[in-house]
Amino acid sequence: MTSDSTTSAGGPRNSLYGPLADVAADAGYPGSHPERVGFFTDTSVCIGCKACEVACKEWNALPDPEAGALTLTGMSYDNTGALGSNSWRHVAFIEQAVPSPADSGEPALISAVADGGATRWLMASDVCKHCTHAACLDVCPTGALVRTEFGTVIVQPDVCNGCAYCVSACPFGVIDRRDGDGRAWKCTMCYDRLRGGLEPACAKACPTDSIQFGPLAELREIASARLADVQASGHPEARLYGADPDDGIGGAGAFFLLLDAPEVYGLPPDPVVTTRDLPAMWRWAGTAAAVLAAGVAVAFAGRRR
């Protein structure tokens, strides 16, 4: 797990995979850099109000995703559809058939239906994960994607050339190019607000504290305690997603408490940074090139004889 993620005696090295205690130091920031911050999104208390979406759009002056009025899909109350270049927060609405409210033990987001069954609403505000190992950052050829002193990952739009390498590298499908612009855009965790000592706009606007912002280490402790409470209240299927530093992305800077499997929310069940195998690939390519060169040398030597 720790290949290419160790720290040598001479200082931190660029890391592509495995646990990493200090992402900002690994990115070259001095020891006096701020604590790593992040989001903990507790979907069990999300009410689907979309205040986070509105606050994000307002603060970041994001254009309308349809270049016109938002429209309902006809399949859901979700009028955003997915994360994209113009939607850096996206509230998913998921309907599930469950037993009647009296039998479910979860009356808050369950409504009875005529046939005696019920519908459970799963709502979750999705966002860029600000991964510990961010493939988007690794593959960017211009340096447009950078790690900030807060441990977050941002795009510098004035440096982006629109190559879209980051779009295909992201294991979560977060980054997108804007129509008519061509450059890549995504959540910055309100980097301008962080530098001013303010919390991100989405967390500030959330009326239920579903989106919590703060030092990442503290949020992980809060999330673990919250998960125990939720499981004890009759939801053994609840789980944390993205909180484990030993997972395939080294842990996310924005992680979630989910009430069902990640796939239900449209999230990959076991995400892995797509640049994990780059060192091995280069080694194999180097070996192949050396073998080819040796073969060519032998062939020329044979012809001379």
Range name among 38-52, 63-77, 156-170, 180-194 with the lowest pLDDT average: 63-77
Integer distance in angstroms from the first to the last C-alpha of the chain? 50
Distances (CA, A) of 139 to 142, 154, 164: 9, 14, 10
C-alpha–C-alpha distance, residues 43 and 122, integer Å: 8
Q: How confident is the model at residue 95 (pLDDT cuts 50, 70, 90)?
A: confident
Per the CB < 8 A criterion, the answer to whether 190 and 200 are in contact is yes
Residues 283 and 279: their CA atoms lie apart, in Å, by: 6
Read off the pLDDT of each residue in 26-32 and give the average, rounded to a whole number: 91
Place of tokens 């673990």: 224
Q: Is 203's pLDDT higher than 80? A: yes
What sections of 94-164 are H helices per DSSP? 101-104, 135-139
User: Tell me, what's the pLDDT at 150?
Assistant: 97
3-state secondary structure of 228: helix
**Secondary structure (3-state) at 265:** helix
Q: Quick one: average pLDDT of 204-210?
A: 97
| Pairing label, strands 37-42, 254-258 | parallel
pLDDT digits (tens, 9 = 90+) for 256-287: 999 999 999 999 999 999 886 665 555 656 77
- Give 231-258 pLDDT, tens digit per residue: 999 899 999 999 999 999 999 999 999 9
Beta bridge partners of 77: none
Averaged pLDDT for residues 113-138: 85
The reported pLDDT for the residue numbered 75 is 64
